[in-house]
Amino acid sequence: MDIVYLVKNSLQNDSEELRYSLRSLKNIPHGKVVVVGEKPDWVTNVTFIDVPQLGKKNANWEKSLRTAAARDDISEDFVMMNDDFFIMKPMGEIPLTNFGTMLDVIAHYDQRYPDGSWYADSMRDQYKILTEKGFTNLMSYELHTPLVLKKSNVLQLYREVTEPLLQFRSFYGNYFHLGGVTVPDVKVFQNERHNDPFYNENPRAYLEQQIFLSSTGGAFKRGLAGDFIRASFSEKSPYEL
């Protein structure tokens, strides 16, 4: 199964998160690695698909994903990766997981951010669209972890749905009834307000327990999470010069 990264170069740190994400691929059997969008000069031994990143983040992401799904040289089932996803432990395949029901996730973020948040608002929007289309038992898939997609499903979704897919993972997961096991998210933030309480109580134990990790730029550059990830993958991968 191929690995597909949708990448916009980070000029501030030369896409350093991507370097360690690529190193973490040693923990999963995979086919070729595909970088769609922009490619840092130090990346090598990958299939590169040039997609100019000229619009807003969501528009760039959609264009890159559509382009990847239309390619004959990418496996039908592929692993969608972000440059800040890290596979921390060896595994035979990517597990299918979800974040819980959309209503529970919305309620959680409404409680955490009483002044409102774009994240909760966008999930409410997606919930409304999916409900109006007749979908029930709606789950959130907005985890910061790899997700296995089918090219044919991606193209079908974009062909059949005209509304903006502000939370593509959740729309895709519910549209194709993925199911999966409910797990907490693994993103680590520099501001502890946003973190899993377990991380704030015992960050080292939390980091050592996770099979996946993700981090914000600040947490990767200056936080314990970034130090832990860099120490875990100190050796170069085949995908860097």
Map out the domains of the chain with their CATH numbers.
Answer: 2-232 (3.90.550)
Among 127, 141, 62, smallest CA distance to 95 is for 141
Q: How many residues does the chain have?
A: 241
Compute the distance between CA of residue 191 and CA of residue 217 in angstroms, rounded to an integer: 12
Enter the pTM of the model. Answer: 0.95
In the chain, which ranges are E strands?
2-7, 33-37, 47-50, 77-81, 85-87, 97-98, 100-101, 139-140, 147-150, 181-182, 187-188, 212-215
Asked whether the beta carbons of 182 and 99 are under 8 A apart, the reply is yes
Are 240 and 19 in contact by the 8 Å Cβ rule? The answer is yes
180-187 average pLDDT score: 97
Confidence of residue 81 (pLDDT cuts 50, 70, 90): very high
Please tell me the number of Cα atoms within 13 Å of 32 on its side-chain side: 13
pLDDT score, position 212: 98
Which one is predicted more confidently, 208 or 114?
Answer: 208
Helix, coil or strand: residue 40: coil
Tell me what pLDDT residue 207 has: 97
Least confident among 68-82, 104-118, 130-144: 104-118
d(CA 196, CA 210): 12
Token reading at 92: 């035979």
Q: Are 44 and 110 in contact (CB under 8 A)?
A: no
Residues paired with residue 48 on neighbouring β-strands, in sequence order? 35
